[in-house]
Structure 1
Amino acid sequence: MSGETIAALRSRMARDELSHEHLVAQALEGAAASGAQHVFTQLYAEAALAAARHADAALRAGVALPALAGLPVSVKDLYDVAGETTMAGSIVCRDELPAVADAPAVARLRANGAAIVGKTNMTEFAFSGVGINPHHGTPRNPADAAVARIPGGSSSGAAVSVALGLAVAGLGSDTGGSIRIPAALCGLVGFKSTQARTPRTGALELSRTLDTVCAMARSVEDCLRVDTVIADAPLAVRQRPLAGMRFAVPQTLMFDGIEPAVASAFDRALKILSAAGALIVDIGLPDLAEIAQLNAPGGFSAVEAHAVHRERLAQARERFDPRVAARIATGATASAADYIAMQDKRRAWIARTERALEGFDALLCPTVPIVAPPIDELVRSDEAFFKANGLLLRNTFAINYLDGCAFSLPCHRAGELPVGLMLSSVQGDDARLAAVALAVEAALK
């Protein structure tokens, strides 16, 4: 299944070349293999195979199948599954009460017939864009067979499960880039929808202001299939030609510290889009430089995560990933007045930025300005870790701060380390941006 989209798999099934049961059995076998080490924290073999067999029976009977019926899908470890304690990549929560119900996103996947193969590993409490987890190990990025590189985070296992062909899609979350970063580093498509599109109930919070329930897959179309299911409503996507589209390329912040491999892939992508008739416009967008100051002190993620985890920190800080604990602790000093001011400043910034983006079909920039660094370098050095984490999150976080929507599309050549092209727009513009993403994806292929 590795590398196949949902449409390709459905075509093989229609020709009786592949069954759902065989596909899911392969995924489960692969998930238990050494090459998938640290990808899953739990497997649901029996339930996944049952869903696959049900889909096979329906197909034989001529019953129309829902979009994800019988197909292997993975779920990030921060989503509630009824009867299980939600661990969110930690060990701190081990003795806490189990969930009484599935998170809505998980329940909707089940109702659609998806074969949920397991829960995927992640950065502890989703608080890093790197993907390193000292408790459960770090899944290796499949893009480089010679060097063990980070997968990106926090939806690390979700990305690797899809990249290895163990799932057609990985349900994750995106607070500052946790879908788009690993999608970019692993060569996948990630879709961060407008936050309000899918309910966050049953997902262990990092930041209630920024958390977004969304997924990654192998194509824009597959991301839209999953989005329709978890949002319980399809986007009204009207496909459009690339010719005549207007794209803004911000000259502030997004290209600082960019590595040559990323710059080369991005420039090549712009040339392809321009040759296809798109208009590329450089804009200043100086408001991007204000985010760090406006999001202080601590930032929404730290302040709101501290509210969620302060009792756990007080009782068992030694059981946290030290880097995660340190970041959460920075949220302790913000006052209620600080927090209200942060919200007010964000609303004003969003209004200014939305005005600056009027008339453009998307904002274009690299998803992240670097390729995936080696795992060992970031495990050994706090300095290297936090430098990489800041770079990984910088571009993607701007869109969360905007409460916008975004796609990350692969734009590297075969044989190169993966590079993501991020297409972004304002809140509620998901359907129009999806049409743009479909056109851009087709041009880049």
Structure 2
Amino acid sequence: MQDLIATREQLGRGHADAAEEFQRALATAQSPACDKAFLQLFPQDARAASAAAARLPLAGLPVSVKDLFDIEGQVTAAGSRVLADAPPAVADSPAVARLRAAGASLIGRTNMTEFAFSGVGVNPHHGTPANPADPATPRIPGGSSSGAAVSVATGAAFIGLGSDTGGSIRIPAALCGIVGFKNTARLTPLQGALPLSTTLDTICAMTRSVRDAVLAHEVLAARRVALEHRPLSARRFAVARTSMLDGLDLAVAQGFEAALRTLRDAGARIEEIALDEIRDLGAIQSTGGFTAAESYAWHRQLLDRKGDGYDPRVRVRIERGASMKAWEYVDLVRARADWIARVETALAGFDAVLSPTVPMVAPAIDQVAPGAERDEAFFRVNALLLRNTSVVNMLDGCALSLPCHVPGTLPVGLMLWHGAMRDDAVLDAGLAVEAALAARHS
């Protein structure tokens, strides 16, 4: 499937038309492939696909917006029913405004885990979009940015705007076989996006390629990415052994090892490190994490009024935040700062760390669908999906997930990650890694 930059080049040569691209994407968004992926479509936004927009970075091409973001005149419901009577937004969120200013045509609002509180992607209110990677078996798309991933993977959008608090961009990107980039949180504005954890939330996007991820980040962060384009032979990567390689599905283990072989064959230096600091996260968060405490602070009054309307699996995790004491929260902030310093010391000298994005391929929806009888399976899968990705959020770092599976098999994600403000280095390395992985199949 052609990426945004290639399509933009065709537009510039007169070999494609932005309005036609939008209509083609809209037809996909209305097709069975995107069933339950969109909560609302904006066919009228084709007006953005104009001659003027074609000269802008996003060239009038379709972009989807997670139901977490304010769009002027619309209610921001965050995949829930309890906010249906909330007042409409008085302005676009900065993320949406920046996409519009860059020439994006907004194609629609995408489905999501209610209030973004899960990596699985199921939604009892609006249904769960099926992962397009397997037409035979309805599989989870991953979450919380479930519809955003499906919109990109099917071709209904070139960019899927979403958020990442513990992996909500990278998990669905890995499971659906596309690219997801979680930037350093401070680089993109959180205003106008309904919060889950103000400490961990990151505004970011999914795309069809790493170069599109660079472009999307430049738009959302209003900054230029500095790329060195160094070859893999000039790069040094780490592989973290602790927990991140535990209990991998066979397909994930094979895909990850094959990717490492490809990168070594291309000259990359890859070293295994223990990174035992990851084991400390359990103790650091033993009294509750940022997400429960900070989401409860936002939801507590709404829960009093409309708690029965919440997804029970979401409500129970939010309500855990009610028991956290002020001193425990302060200790958590201090412990995180100390932990970040220790991890950054361990990663000094590496261009990035290489890990499987998630330890499994996408399970079938019916294994984790809403229902108390499947709660145990749901929470087990959710914990596994978040295990690797959430490390980067606690690090206040940046991470890129890109496909590393063999064509014709279920998607497997390779995650490149590092500490805060290493975004350009991670993206630069990602371009080289993506090229090497593509070359092995050419």
Using the size of structure 2 for normalisation, the TM-score is 0.97
What residue is the counterpart of 1:32 in the other structure?
Answer: 30
Whether 1:8 aligns to 2:6 is: yes
SS at match of 1:243: helix
Q: Per-residue deviation at 1:16?
A: 3.0
Report the CA distance shift for 1:229/1:125 in structure 2 as closer, same or farther (over 3 A): same
Q: Per-residue deviation at 1:256?
A: 1.6
Report the CA distance shift for 1:170/1:58 in structure 2 as closer, same or farther (over 3 A): closer
User: What amino acid sits opposite 2:27 in the alignment?
Assistant: E
Whether 1:50 aligns to 2:47 is: yes
Q: Which whole-Å deviations, capped at 9, do the CAs of 1:138-173 have from their partners, x for residues lacking one?
A: 010000011000000000000000000000010100
What residue is the counterpart of 2:39 in the other structure?
Answer: 41
Q: Which whole-Å deviations, capped at 9, do the CAs of 1:69-96 have from their partners, x for residues lacking one?
A: 2100001100011111110000011111
What residue is the counterpart of 1:362 in the other structure?
Answer: 352
Matching of residues 342-421 of structure 1 within 5 Å = 342-379=332-369, 380=371, 381-421=374-414
Matching of residues 112-151 of structure 1 within 5 Å = 112-151=102-141
Counterparts of 2:96 and 2:287 in 1: how far apart (Å)? 34
Using the size of structure 1 for normalisation, the TM-score is 0.96
Q: Which whole-Å deviations, capped at 9, do the CAs of 1:54-109 have from their partners, x for residues lacking one?
A: 2x3665xxxxx121021000011000111111100000111112211110000011
Q: Per-residue deviation at 1:340?
A: 0.6
Count of residue pairs brought into register by the alignment? 435
Q: CA RMSD in A?
A: 1.1
The answer (yes or no) to whether the contact 1:296–1:342 under 8 Å persists in 2 is no
Counterparts of 2:109 and 2:4 in 1: how far apart (Å)? 20
SS at match of 2:271: strand
Counterparts of 1:12 and 1:234 in 2: how far apart (Å)? 23
Counterparts of 1:267 and 1:58 in 2: how far apart (Å)? 43
The answer (yes or no) to whether the contact 2:240–2:355 under 8 Å persists in 1 is yes
Q: Which whole-Å deviations, capped at 9, do the CAs of 1:179-227 have from their partners, x for residues lacking one?
A: 0000000000110000000010001000000000000101111011111
Report the CA distance shift for 1:58/1:270 in structure 2 as closer, same or farther (over 3 A): closer
Which residue among 283, 291, 295 is the counterpart of 1:293? 283
User: What amino acid sits opposite 1:366 in the alignment?
Assistant: P
Report the CA distance shift for 1:112/1:215 in structure 2 as closer, same or farther (over 3 A): same
Which residue among 173, 183, 205 is the counterpart of 1:215? 205
Q: Per-residue deviation at 1:117?
A: 0.5
What residue is the counterpart of 2:267 in the other structure?
Answer: 277
SS at match of 1:210: coil
**Structure 1: runs of 5 or more not aligned:** 60-64
User: What amino acid sits opposite 2:414 in the alignment?
Assistant: L
User: What amino acid sits opposite 1:80 in the alignment?
Assistant: D
Report the CA distance shift for 1:254/1:58 in structure 2 as closer, same or farther (over 3 A): closer
User: What amino acid sits opposite 2:432 in the alignment?
Assistant: A
Identity over aligned residues, as a percent?
54
**Structure 2: runs of 5 or more not aligned:** none
What residue is the counterpart of 1:192 in the other structure?
Answer: 182
Whether 1:96 aligns to 2:89 is: no
The answer (yes or no) to whether the contact 2:238–2:273 under 8 Å persists in 1 is yes
What residue is the counterpart of 1:228 in the other structure?
Answer: 218
Matching of residues 244-263 of structure 1 within 5 Å = 244-263=234-253
Counterparts of 2:261 and 2:34 in 1: how far apart (Å)? 37
Counterparts of 2:71 and 2:203 in 1: how far apart (Å)? 15
Q: Per-residue deviation at 1:35?
A: 2.3
Report the CA distance shift for 1:213/1:57 in structure 2 as closer, same or farther (over 3 A): closer
Q: Which whole-Å deviations, capped at 9, do the CAs of 1:239-272 have from their partners, x for residues lacking one?
A: 1110031111111010122111100000000000
User: What amino acid sits opposite 2:10 in the alignment?
Assistant: R
What residue is the counterpart of 1:82 in the other structure?
Answer: 72
User: What amino acid sits opposite 1:10 in the alignment?
Assistant: R
